[in-house]
Amino acid sequence: MNSTHSGSWWRYLKGYHWLVFILAACGWMFDTMDQQLFTASRADAMKELLPTVGEAARYSAGSWVTTIFIIGWAIGGLIFGVLGDRWGRAKTMAVTIILYAAFTGLSGLATSEFSLALGRCLADVGITFTPYHFFAIGRFLTGLGVGGEFAVGAALVAEVMPENARAGALGMMQALSAVGNLFGAWLLGVIVPMWGWQGLYFVGTFPALIGVMVMFKMHEPEKWVKARAAALANPGDKSKQFGSVKDLFGHPTWRRNALVGIALAVAGVLGLWGAGFWSSDLIKSIIPTMTQEDKVRYEQLVSASPAEQVAIIQGMDEQQQKQFKNLRINLEIKPRIEESKALTEPLMASEVEMIKQLIPRGMDESSKTRLRSKALMLQQTGAFFGMYFFVIAASRIGRRATFLGAMIMGWIAVGLVFLTFKEAYQIWYLWPFLGFATQVPFGGYAVYLPELFPTRLRST
């Protein structure tokens, strides 16, 4: 349990230890920043990439892009994990950082003339290729780098840090990934109002500089170099083979450890992180988009007679009718108005009451963007403390009890937030709790998983 001790671990670090820790932590921080840029801007991106479809279709399209990104993340973890064992930690980490940074920037070109020209060229040979497809491919390729960087970054730090500093350094590196998310959330409120969602992705290319520094300043861990030399000296000894997926699942001990790690990761990523991934969209769906003029118009609408309501609706311009129709068909009431009747029928009594409740909550688009930015910053502040909390708790009650308690707390937080969020002010207490509770297990992944495997299989 020495490696789980959370005391003053930094006292054990020397000059090169600090270089490795800082570069690896920056790699993780900007990795999560690029993820956060996508999370924060997904709804805005879908609106521009798919301007002719309804909200439900855009939501579904955003879900598919998220799925594609996560698939890329998983594949990247497998591919670059194996490369990290066979080719080297530092070199592989440099490549993955440059990869996720470059393709984050490429995603921002989805609506550019380059993307449109590519679509026209492919159309000439019978292939449909829209800005949405361009964006989805960019997110998949970004996911490759994101997944790979997580795998090799943790292995690198685990092997370079002194024994007494390992758990603390890994826990802090994981916690600092929340700072990347925090920075991404802050950029949402700063960049989008000025340059649109594409500007976020262009900013996301800057971490490539970290990859260049890793390539030229960092060398391979001594443990990896020695294990690699031993493997090369005994090429017929399969017990020393590097990056072997067959050996990982063929050896009883490594297979059990791998299955335990996979189960923990799936529970955390799909059950907790995946839910938190939609927290920005939750705000966008619950808080209605309304300018002050819209509020005045809706106040008149709910106060009017049925005949006057139809006249007011018919008197709206095309954009106002589109916005009102979207609001009406998505009201949380039963039965809902049929979409074909949303602009021709007067309001039902239940609709009147619901719209009266929504008017005070309404915000214009800029205000909603700033609200989402604040919420995500609060969420990631909670996440920072949650991830490092694992190291502290595990040193006192053990890893198993900490993982169990963390999972239960995370599921409670997800249910609480998604079932009770109704008003903008609730972000001040719900979002920090969501971040803290859902991210505690992730502090454990960085500390616990590298210890389950030998050097030759660690990043695989």
The residue-averaged pLDDT of 125-140 equals 91
User: What Å distances lie between residue 405 and 159, 353, 446, CA to CA?
Assistant: 28, 41, 17
Quick one: pLDDT at residue 4?
47
Tell me the pLDDT tens digit for each residue of 232-259: 777 666 666 777 778 778 788 888 888 8
pLDDT at 22 over 50: yes
The rounded distance, in Å, linking the Cα atoms of 294 and 279 is 26
**Domain layout of the chain by residue ranges:** 2-232+244-285+365-457, 289-361
Quick one: pLDDT at residue 3?
46
- Average pLDDT across the chain, whole number: 86
> Which of 55-64, 182-191, 242-251, 356-365 shows the lowest per-residue confidence on average (mean pLDDT)?
242-251
CATH homologous superfamily of 2-232+244-285+365-457 equals MFS general substrate transporter like domains (1.20.1250.20)
pLDDT band at 139 (very low <50, low <70, confident <90, very high): very high
What is residue 240's DSSP assignment? G
What's the token pair of residue 94?
Answer: 């440099």
- Radius of gyration in angstroms for the set of CA atoms belonging to the chain, rounded to a whole number: 25
* Residue bearing the bigger pLDDT, 195 or 250: 195
pLDDT band at 69 (very low <50, low <70, confident <90, very high): very high
Beta bridge partners of 363: 289
Question: What number of helices (H) and strands (E) belong to the chain?
Answer: 19, 0
pLDDT at 273 over 60: yes
What is residue 432's DSSP assignment? H
Burial of 241 (0-12, 13-18, 19+ CB in 10 A): middle
The residue-averaged pLDDT of 322-345 equals 85
Q: Helices 365-397 and 166-203, interaxial angle, to 10°?
A: 170
**Percent residues over pLDDT 70 in the chain:** 95
pLDDT at 188 over 90: no
pLDDT at 138 over 90: yes
The residue-averaged pLDDT of 332-340 equals 84
pLDDT at 427 over 50: yes
**Percent residues over pLDDT 90 in the chain:** 20
Tell me the pLDDT tens digit for each residue of 82-120: 888 888 889 999 999 999 999 999 999 998 888 888 888
Q: Contact 272/414 with Cβ under 8 angstroms? A: yes
pTM reported for the whole predicted model: 0.75
Q: Give Cβ neighbours of residue 318 (< 8 Å, ≥ 6 apart).
A: none
Helix, strand, or coil (residue 108): coil
Q: Contact 302/347 with Cβ under 8 angstroms? A: yes
